[in-house]
A = this chain, B = another copy of it.
Amino acid sequence: MPAFDFKIEKQNEECLARLGEIKTRHGKIKTPVFLPVATNASVKALTSEDMKSLNAEILMANTYHLFLRPGLEVIEAFRGLHKFMNWQKPIMTDSGGFQAFSLGFGIEHGVGKISNIFPDEAVGGPKPKGEKQAFVSDKGITFYSPYDGKKIFLTPELSIKIQQTLNSDIMLVLDECTSPLNDYDYTKQSLSRTHKWAEQCLKAKESDQALFGIVQGGAYKDLREESSRFISSLPFDGIAIGGSLGKSKRDMHNILEWTIPLLPEEKPRHLLGIGAVEDFFNSIERGIDMFDCVSPTRLARAGFLFIHPSDGGTMKNKFRIDIGKSGYKKDDSPISESCECYTCKNYSKAYLRHLYMAKELSYHRLASIHNVHFFLSLIEEIRKAIKEDSFFELKAKWLNF
């Protein structure tokens, strides 16, 4: 039996949406799937037990952060992340490539994965600019540890070695995540580096963990096509689409439309770092099987709580309420009347608002539980709709087309 397998259970006839099942060494995952992000081996404000209660099927953990802290010798003592964080279901690990961007160009220019030149894409205003902490060369990425200033040189081989120690079920190749502000020439040059690293990662792998390649190429059609073909030609277990996804959601859709038809049908496709209601519908429709994003927990901490269309959620309000608003001061109803989560079953908006205003730590957990539950339930609803051939009805219900 292979340590990793993917089978397509149903293909939608009108679009690229599909149902599938991924088999890993730690159990099966139904796709499309959303991976909550446990950057430091903990989904922020939640425990592994919370994630089990929320029926999360797989988590994403962070190679770069865990390499710095707690460090490999600690993870080695536990023979991997699963035992360390008491999580027995599948884990995917990123490669550290995204941090080359977020701690490099991203921090220097104050931009995110989708450029926040467009104010409506920004969460909580523009990112603060700061001093670059990551530098990319053909050989790898040089980081300076924020804890002790120590220099770390992350090569494709080291990224695989770390991920083997983390013993994740699905690893990602080291790539350079370019910025929406990078020009064609830089992006092209970066792409050839990323492709070389992809081959090095494959060569370096010594375990039976799955390894996904990453398609890069910024918002440039020919580069995305070139990358799709190249990454598809290599024996990866799945393919991720990463990097700058353009300057707007429309750019992102273009990138998916250029890329996905060139990818092998039989491999799962992961859209890295993306997660918003409309992104799920628009990306699954275009053939994406997997998502990961910090947004449910990050937005929860910032006071934004998700609501279903039946509770008034719309594209306009981004399917969320701002719990800090004074209108909720005496509101004794839950965030959502129909929601089955622990938070909605037990606490009112007024109480959550109070905890939020009083900066109580318990707020973060209750808000994060609700938002993660919302994301996981939405994906489940989408899976059900694909199964029942009602994907477009569900999309229309949510996005009001």
Residues of A bordering B, CB below 8 Å: 40-49, 65, 69-70, 73-74, 77-78, 83-86, 329-330, 332, 342, 346-348, 350-351, 353-355, 357-358, 360-362, 364-366
Contact = CB atoms under 8 A, between A and B. Distances in A.
A134 B371 CA distance: 40
Contact of A364 (B49, B65, B85, B361): B361
Contacts of A354: 40-41, 69-70, 74, 84
Contact of A70 (B42, B44, B342, B357): B357
B350 A74 contact: yes
A354 B48 CA distance: 14
Contact of A77 (B45, B86, B332, B360): B332
B360 A40 contact: yes
A41 B73 contact: no
A398 B71 CA distance: 37
B41 A351 contact: yes
A274 to B, nearest CB: 24
A399 to B, nearest CB: 32
B361 A361 contact: yes
A346 B48 contact: yes
Contact of A44 (B73, B357, B362): B362
Given A49-B342, A86-B346, A351-B84, A44 B358 contact: no
Contacts of A78: 330, 332, 348, 350
Contacts of A358: 40, 42, 65, 69-70
A355 B70 CA distance: 9
Nearest to A83: B332
Contacts of A330: 73-74, 77-78
Given A70-B329, A329-B70, A360-B42, A350 B84 contact: yes
Contacts of A73: 329-330
A332 B77 CA distance: 8
A300 to B, nearest CB: 11
A329 B361 CA distance: 25
Contacts of A361: 44-45, 361, 364-365
Given A40-B360, A85-B351, A86-B347, 16 more contacts: A41-B351, A42-B355, A45-B361, A45-B365, A46-B362, A47-B362, A47-B366, A49-B342, A65-B358, A69-B358, A74-B350, A77-B332, A78-B330, A78-B348, A84-B348, A361-B364
A346 B83 CA distance: 10
Contacts of A43: 362
Contacts of A362: 42-47, 365
In the complex, the 6 A-B pairs of residues with the closest C-beta atoms, listed nearest first = A45-B361, A77-B330, A70-B354, A40-B358, A42-B360, A42-B362
Contacts of A70: 329, 350, 353-354, 357-358
